[in-house]
Amino acid sequence: MTERTLAIIKPDAVERRLAGTIIQRIEDEAFQIRAMRRVHLSKAQAEGFYAVHRERPFFAGLTTFMSSGPAIVLVLEAPDAIRKWRTLMGATDPAKADAGTMRKEFAQSIERNATHGSDAPDTALYEIGYFFAGVELV
């Protein structure tokens, strides 16, 4: 079933000029890029995006990092896109990520972990809507 997911190339990867390489990998894996934009989140915008994690001990550090510089947000479409993108990213902690995954190759730590992907259909809907209006998905 064709599905959409929200992907983020996080500030660490943008700063290290890895965006082009990551977008190439997305296209090589046959995702359709339905929308893409460069954003520099405010702290409040990062807190809104990660609201489900607000009770976690890492919430303050995560939202400070995510608002520390520009990121690139994308809507990816493919059959089984949510799982497919999470498999390509690898485990959240790069120390646990499989060889060949983007976090294994590009992440520096569990916080500076290069990319984000929605974890379920309901979160994908929320996350896509957080950044894009329907008319922007083309």
SS3 109: coil
Minimal distance, residue 20 CB to ligand CMP, in Å = 21
For the question of residue 116 being annotated catalytic, the response is yes
Q: Say how far apart CA 81 and CA 76 lie, in whole Å.
A: 7
Strand partners, 32: 77
- Closest of 124, 30, 125 to residue 78, by C-alpha: 30
Is 116:7 a contact under the CB 8 Å cutoff?
A: yes
From residue 55 to residue 74, what is the string marking binding to ligand CMP with x (rule CB under 6 A)? ---x---x------------
Residue span binding ligand CMP (CB under 6 A) among the ranges 22-30, 94-102, 111-119, 122-130: 111-119
Minimal distance, residue 17 CB to ligand CMP, in Å = 20
**Binding residues for ligand CMP, how many (CB under 6 A)?**
8
Residues acting as catalytic residues? 116
